[in-house]
Structure 1
Amino acid sequence: MGALAGLALPMAIPALAAAAGRASDPLPRALLVPGGLARLPLGPSPARPRAFAPAADGSAEVPLLVLGDASAWTAVVGIPLSAAPGPASIHVETPGGAPRSLGYEIVPKQYREQRLTVEPRTVDLSPEDEARWQRERSHQAGVMATFSTPLPASLAMRVPVPGRRSSSFGLRRVFNGQARNPHSGMDIAATTGTPVLAPLAARVIDTGDYFFNGNTVWLDHGGGLLSMVCHLSAIDAQVGDAVDAGQRVGAVGATGRVTGPHLHWGVMLNRSMVDPALFLPS
């Protein structure tokens, strides 16, 4: 597995278009549901405010991605799939101003259920496989905590591979009759060997062969926005590489816990897996 690259300090970014829903809008669509995201206006400020949200496990505050310019700043907040519907809030610190809370409302969403049959060893883990998964989970927790600069000037992404969406974000997964965590990404059907492209300019922060995800590449787009591409047949990038949007980072495969060749694409914002479709053209 690749080592996690070091973190950098926040810095200012160029001005962003402010109008929501326009083709030129560089921010993803807001969807105030578990697994969605909020776009919270922070108002004007000569310097970029800092904003924080509770971690999904409630253990600490997590820095948020704040974009804009002195005339208007916006916090882009990933909402965990585990979030309960109801009121939520973020903590905002503006240079020269008093700290404040900014609230929003999470509305419920009912995701569909998907039943899959996979290799039994990937559902009922042996002691050796359980130990491996625990090691990998600890390692990836460090990867997912990455918050770096420069911040992205636009969050408009492209799909990493063309194809039919074979499984949507948020599905409640049942493997071999046993319920597991909801599906935290988008599955795209494609043949083995199809090139997988970076959805947005990024730095490669981790690669590895993981028990569930198979061959995986983690990409850091800046400001706590990460993406992962999984089940690859080949990894064509190394930790530390800077890649442009559309640059090849791997190839579609069927490694890890799968029922056939496809790409699993996950997007993480402030350590919460969110629906990749929100970052694509509507």
Structure 2
Amino acid sequence: MPALVRAGTAQQWPQALAVPGGVARLSLGPAAERPVVHAGDIPVLVLGDAIEWTAIVGIPLAAPVGEAEVTVQAAPTAPARRVAYRVAAKQYREQRLTVAPRTVDLAPEDLARHERERAHQQHVMATFSTPLPEGLQMRQPVPGRRSSSFGLRRVFNGQARNPHSGMDIAAATGTPVAAPLAGRVIDVGDYFFNGGTVWLDHGGGLLSMYCHLSRMDCQVGDVLRTGDAFCRVGATGRVTGPHLHWGVMLNRTMVDPALFLPA
């Protein structure tokens, strides 16, 4: 039987929304030690205490509607058990954009660069560290209007591409970007599509990324408190104008950042 997916409340982040690109909160019950949970072979963030543990599971945008599952091991010598949950349907809107042709039909050298960068970022995205975050409520990293929402089906110059994997916030070039949650800088780079980019590690496979930056005022290893400014908005990479692309990742899956923000 599928596990209870606990509904979000005003005191609970991220909000539970078991749809593609959303988050499932799976009640695991009591256990003397923190259970070890995996989605496939990928570790999952588990928070709580001996009275009740909760798995915080990121659901891929490409996840099919229907039953999904994680495996739970309550102790090192205990057998693993399956915990199932149901992924509901969600319809995302479509967005059509016009950008520089070279960022859609890639030249061989640009494609080779993108492949190198993708391999590097796959390594970054595999980060799973301790200590685990004490809380998961985030603050919006830069003030401004949300100019493009998570999950939009993107069409660049008439060609369909992957859905939008973050939240775009309109802001002027040079606007400071503040850490939405305490974390450590694990990557700083200039990438073909994302432009100036910083990744933060918040612990337990919870990561966040910041793209199209004009300045990165940090370096790998810096430890940030919530609210610390560490980079600035720009218009680098594949963009139509200055803005911050903010992404949030759980268990190597990009999820909707809005689920981590107060309503």
Q: Tell me the TM-score range normalised by the shorter chain.
A: over 0.9
Which residue number corresponds to residue 196 of structure 1?
Answer: 177
Measured against aligned partners, the alpha-carbon deviations of 1:87-130 in whole angstroms (never above 9, x if no partner) come to 00000000154310000000111100000000000000000000
In the superposition, the TM-score normalised over structure 2's length comes to 0.96
CA distance in 1, matches of 2:42, 2:130: 16
Question: Helix, strand or coil for the counterpart of 2:215?
Answer: strand
In 1, distance between residues paired with 2:238 and 2:164? 13
In structure 2, the residue matched to 1:205 is: 186
Counterpart AA for 1:70 = A
Find the counterpart in structure 2 of residue 7 from structure 1: none
The one-character-per-residue Cα deviations of 1:32-58 (angstroms, maximum 9, x if unpaired) are 10000100000001100000002xxxx
Show the counterpart of 2:37. 51
Give the aligned partner of residue 41 of structure 1. Answer: 27
Q: String of CA shifts for 1:61-112, please: whole Å, max 9, x gaps.
A: 1000000000000000000001010100000000154310000000111100
2:3 is matched with none
Partner of 1:62: 42
Corresponding residue for residue 175 of structure 1 = 156
Deviations 1:234-258 (A, max 9, x none): 0011000000011011000000000
SS of structure 2 residue aligned to 1:83: coil
Which has the higher mean CA deviation after the structures are superposed, 240-249 or 96-105? 96-105
Q: Match of 2:122, SS?
A: helix
Alpha-carbon contact 2:66-2:88 (below 8 Å) kept: yes
SS of the equivalent of 2:214 reads strand
- Provide the aligned length of Structure 1 versus Structure 2: 257
Q: How many Å separate the matches in 2 of 1:183 and 1:51? A: 28
Shift of 1:21: 4.1
Find the residue that maps to 1:205 and give its secondary structure: strand
Match of 1:139 in 2: 120
**Once the 2 structures are TM-superposed, how far is the Cα of residue 277 of structure 1 from its aligned partner?**
0.2
**Structure 1 counterpart of 2:70:** 90
Specify the alignment match of 2:17 in structure 1: 31
Percent identity, please.
71
Match of 1:160 among 141, 145, 154: 141
Normalised by the length of structure 1, the TM-score is 0.89
Letter in 2 for 1:245: T
Q: 2:24 corresponds to which letter in structure 1?
A: A
Contact 2:9 2:15 in 1 (8 A): no
1:140 is paired with a residue of what secondary structure?
helix
How far is the alpha carbon of 1:213 from its aligned partner?
Answer: 0.3
Kept in 1, the 8 Å contact 2:132–2:203? The answer is yes
In 1: Cα distance, 2:180 partner to 2:91 partner: 28
Q: Residues 116-265 of structure 1: matches in 2 within 5 Å?
A: 116-265=97-246
Q: Distance in 2 between matches of 1:210 and 1:247?
A: 24
In structure 2, list runs of 5 or more residues that go unmatched. Answer: 1-5
SS of the residue aligned with 2:238? coil
1:281 equivalent to 2:262? Answer yes
Aligned partner of 2:60: which letter?
Answer: P
**Alignment-mate amino acid for residue 96 of structure 2:** R
**2:54 partner amino acid:** T
The aligned residue for residue 12 of structure 1 is none
